[in-house]
Structure 1
């Protein structure tokens, strides 16, 4: 559990004291979302990941922020992207509040990988662009795409 305590003191200007404790508890088995199998078929075979699915605008805005519990064959699928619909469009992701490097795979409407942004920089606010319209985005632990030989043009499938 992460706890943050904020305290403002009574200063010369008469500022009132305000205290608050904010906690974030990682999901437990009872509260965790069901995992979705996602398969990436590359030149050296099929690679299956068990990922969380972000389908709402709020889930997609939060993504994997604050997470330190990522598994090598886990991740998050943003599908459909964007959550509010309207068909494929260019995407920009960032790493704000994300402590773990990620591989961000931008996926075209036909299921092929358009771009792989490898080992993105933790906590960076620099946009990571898709550079073309995409229908989904898959985030994996940084370095997994290279480790497994996953490349642009490989096919990504999951139960819709």
Structure 2
């Protein structure tokens, strides 16, 4: 079955428009993991592949205080994050394999400033800005949860 060229062109245009629109949509359906730090519970979406990590929390207009996003990398390395297309002010915890927070940074929305780990890490947890500070969580604090159990 052959489709006329103009129908193929229209289909290609529709697919391209859909892809462009989808690129501006927040990721809301990633798998989730339950993390804790002391008495505080975190419901974190998990970004575990390149595409998921590249979008991260971009385009999201709100996020409940107990929610965040855990970025999981294949191996520990220096990680740097920026906030292009990210509308929410966020704090990022750069986290070692065993759940220990290496360093924390506050990040300003819609900027391309680079915020980096102080040493190689496998995980980065983004929360609403100020969440860690309000809970008294600092570098050296340990997160608990399934991703960190293998390293303990």
* Structure 2 residue matching 1:78: 3-state secondary structure: strand
After superposing on structure 2, the runs of 4+ consecutive aligned residues of structure 1 that deviate more than 4 Å are 24-27
Structure 1 position 106, deviation (Å)? 0.1
CA contact under 8 A between 2:82 and 2:112: conserved in structure 1?
yes
Structure 1 position 131, deviation (Å)? 1.8
* Structure 2 residue matching 1:88: 3-state secondary structure: strand
Aligned to 2:51: 58
Deviations 1:1-52 (A, max 9, x none): xxxxxxxxxxxxxxxxxxx68545567xxx72343111123xxxx2111110
Aligned to 2:33: 36
Corresponding position: 1:68 with 2:61: yes
Alignment TM-score, normalising by the size of structure 1: 0.73
* Structure 1 residue matching 2:92: 3-state secondary structure: strand
CA contact under 8 A between 2:35 and 2:44: conserved in structure 1?
yes
Separation of aligned partners in 2, 1:34 and 1:126: 28
Separation of aligned partners in 2, 1:91 and 1:108: 11
2:115 to 121, 128, 137: 128
Q: Which runs of 5+ in 1 are unaligned?
A: 1-19
Matches within 5 A, 1:5-44: 23-24=21-22, 32-41=29-38
1:137 to 114, 124, 129: 124
Alignment TM-score, normalising by the size of structure 2: 0.77
* Structure 2 residue matching 1:137: 3-state secondary structure: strand
Q: Say what the alpha-carbon RMSD is for the aligned residues.
A: 1.8
Q: Residues 123 and 58 (structure 1 numbering): CA distance in 2 closer, same or farther, change over 3 Å?
A: same
